[in-house]
Amino acid sequence: MKTKAILISLIGVLAITTTVFQACKKTEENTNQPPTCKITSPLNGQEITKGESVTISVEANDSDGTITEVRFSIDGVGKGSASSYPYNYNWNTDNEDIGNHTLKATSVDNGGTVTTDEIDIFMTEGGSTGTFTDPRDDQTYTTIDIGSQTWFAENLNYNTGDGNNNSWCYDNNGSNCDIYGRLYTWEAATSACPDGWHLPSDDEWTTLIDFLGGEDVAGGKMKETGTTHWNSPNTGATNSSGFTALPGGYRDTNGGFSSKGGRGGWWSATEYRATSAWHRKLNYSHDSVNRFNYYKEGGFSVRFVRD
């Protein structure tokens, strides 16, 4: 009887050991950690103007393997995927409805484990756009109606004359002019206007900024979205106004160039003193608009407003 009891006990211990071993083995077989997935651009709740080309950007990593694919869907409809970094999808919004849209990203690792992230954006109508061709050099600029004003939606790229030394490409590199336009002294900016346009006064800048909600928030509504041209994180950028501000940097009075990608500055026609004038500045790290004065010999970008 005693031997039988011992035998039963041994069988019980063996059964428990087997169960624990199998559980441990099962755990070992399922140690694949899920990947991460985070939509970094656009931002949740961001306003996007219909017609914009929007880059949906995702950060995805896998601690114990590799990311094999990131899938993109909009309002539940699959749109495409990216199999290598950077994990981006370019969304053409020309035919999208005004209102809310849900953007979803799904990261997949080499073990088949998935992680998702979702955000909501709001599509707005935006202002009416047009074009203007400068008869002096046949360059064509996009224009945008914002409130009661019509603005250039691109930085001026008119060469005031190589011998005049009053407008420059950033770093004296012509490819920068192709993207960001030229940087002008104040005197050059006031005289470079084509017929029908003028350099905006300080009050006209204020009219624009007030229409967009004031200095604390207007910058985000004016900046081009994403980080193709602006440095990351390009805080608050929605370009809901259609102004499409670019960070062309500036030229100081000693001839040095600085801050391309980080900030953009635009002259006003209003003098501060005999040697300086007001300008507006936008920055990659916040969504406000700043008002400063600077020496007229410095170089800033130029936008015109229609007469």
pLDDT at 91 over 50: yes
pLDDT at 16 over 60: no
Q: Enumerate the β-bridge partners of residue 184.
A: 167, 300
pLDDT level of residue 132 (50, 70, 90 thresholds): very high
Question: Which residues in the chain are classed under CATH 2.60.40.10?
Answer: 38-124
CATH assignment of 38-124?
2.60.40.10
Report yes or no: 248 and 170 within 8 Å, Cβ to Cβ: yes
pLDDT at 210 over 60: yes
Structure confidence at residue 259 (pLDDT) = 97
Report how far residue 218's alpha carbon sits from residue 239's, in angstroms, rounded to the nearest whole number.
9
Alpha carbon of residue 135 to chain centroid: 32
pLDDT at 162 over 80: no
Distance between first and last Cα of the chain: 111
pLDDT level of residue 158 (50, 70, 90 thresholds): very high
Measured at the alpha carbon of residue 31, what is the angle toward residues 28 and 36, in degrees to the nearest 5?
175
pTM of full prediction above 0.75: no
The model's pLDDT over 19-28, given as tens digits with 9 standing for 90+, comes to 544 544 444 4
Residue found under tokens 């060469």? 159
